[in-house]
Structure 1
């Protein structure tokens, strides 16, 4: 009995011209490098913005988790950029060692984004099921607790601040008109007596949340002059509760779609890089003559 293992499997790779394959792999590496640079720049800019805005508002412990998030992205961007540069060098010089480093990075990120997609998809289904069942999610309870704290600590009638927004007819009875030259009233909500006894971290979180989501509605009591420096440029009917819900639902969908596309990109790059590494070179006729024979007598 004789079993012959030819090189047909490798020769099949010749259906893709070598130059075309090289361009495909280089394009994939270039796209990944551009993505890493974009992540690096965005994370750096966002981190600096947080550093600047948090001075005097947040304690170091309150901001540490956010800073860690952007630092992690910056480290990932650097690792990805270096690995991709090694891959480009390996492609241009046909260096399998460098290509192996590049493909290891591709493989790791494929699994990372694939798992992200699976986890987000799973929890999306769980979230939808829980909402249909009439139950409250953990983040719903946390948000309601935050509203309660805000209402108890900030939404009081003992401080009337100047208000530059539009006052509706129903709200007008709660508003007292003052002269523009009057300097006896508070201008910023930090000047209100109730804010002095409030937790500074909670105060900063409320302010940053309204600014970030461009919404209002933390304060449900009148007079509406409260939070003048935060709400003066926002619409009072644009409630933060629904805004935050919509934001995180949208974020979840974007994360789900993005992780799927990136996982697909990395697995394609991984596959084409493998083909490039083991692309058969030389005369196919001579390669076919090289066979391993197993003789079983």
Structure 2
């Protein structure tokens, strides 16, 4: 292949990586703006945003490094760049594979409307049901900060305004006696859902929060519905974008490896 033409291709593909870097910054920012203003400002989407910005900046800087390596025709720089590209390519493949698996599985979880078929959904439903019969009920005195009328409207029957009382079901002594499968991990999952989506309940809707802080207001729906909607809204875009980025990275690797080999050939043939 013509060396000058190959060099142009290498510069073009490296420059296109800047777009991939921008995507890693812009897309998490959009997600953050849409979902990060729930009960807590410091939540999962903040971490996603930070990861996206760090990865995006790294990709952009690496693309600049690739252009410099091509322009200067430095063998060691090109070798280092290609190793980094292969690592990015493997990461991209992993993201694409996970995205495809999630997209394939979503209908199975969505169609399990009563949470009676998928084991994870069954566990979350059982834990939520048991917790709804515990926190602020006869088995667990809670620290509810509202009035008696508000407590009655929410179905709260056992409460007292003392800071020593639990505000989430995980703080109830009886919680450890539930003996449900994966209950500690699942309670963390349900707490995350409540904090991120402002929901409470699973295949049901609770009138107050169970796994975060019951005084945070009134939940806005069933957590399962919120999670499914979130995944459906974003998974197709993630599959398409990760496919395009994976293809771009593969193109960059092929072109830059060819350029590296041509550089080696040119270097040693001139000796």
Instruction: Quote the Cα distance in structure 1 between the aligned partners of 2:63 and 2:168.
Output: 56
Bigger relative contact order (CA 8 A; separation at least 6): 1
Where 1:229 maps in the other structure, the secondary structure is coil
Residue of structure 2 in register with 1:230 after alignment: 216
Which of 15, 20, 23 aligns to 1:27? It is 15
- Does 1:143 find its partner at 2:130? no
Tell me what 2:269 maps to: none
Counterpart Cα distance in 2 of 1:251 and 1:146: 27
Contact 2:82 2:253 in 1 (8 A): yes
Distance 1:155 1:113, change over 3 A: farther
Q: How does 1:118-157 map to 2 (within 5 A)?
A: 118-122=97-101, 124-125=103-104, 128=107, 136-154=117-135, 156=137
Identify unmatched segments of 5+ residues in structure 1: 1-9, 42-51, 55-62, 177-183, 281-297
Please tell me whether the aligned partners of residues 33 and 81 of structure 1 are also in contact (alpha carbons under 8 angstroms): yes
> How far did residue 264 of structure 1 move?
1.6
* Aligned CA-pair RMSD: 5.4
> What's the TM-score, normalizing by structure 1?
0.52
Shift of 1:240: 1.8
1:292 corresponds in structure 2 to none
**1:92 corresponds to which of 67, 71, 83:** 71
Tell me how many residue pairs correspond in the alignment: 230
Extract unaligned runs of 5+ from structure 2.
Answer: 30-40, 177-183, 264-271
Q: Secondary structure at the match of 1:136?
A: coil
Q: Partners of 2:153 and 2:209 in 1: how far apart?
A: 8
Distance 1:207 1:92, change over 3 A: same
CA distance in 2, matches of 1:37, 1:194: 37
Q: Which residue of 1 aligns with 2:161?
A: 186
Take 1:193 and 1:129, find their aligned partners in 2: how far apart are those partners? 31
Q: 1:39–1:74: 8 Å Cα contact kept in structure 2?
A: no
- Equivalent positions of 1:35-50 (< 5 A) are none
1:145-168, Cα deviation, whole Å (9 max, x unpaired): 3313432432526656417xxx9x
* 3-state secondary structure, aligned to 2:96: helix
Aligned residue among 198, 211, 214 for 1:214: 198
* Equivalent-residue separation in structure 2 for 1:131 and 1:243 (angstroms): 11
Residues 17 and 114 of structure 1: is their aligned pair in 2 closer, same or farther, counting only changes over 3 Å? closer
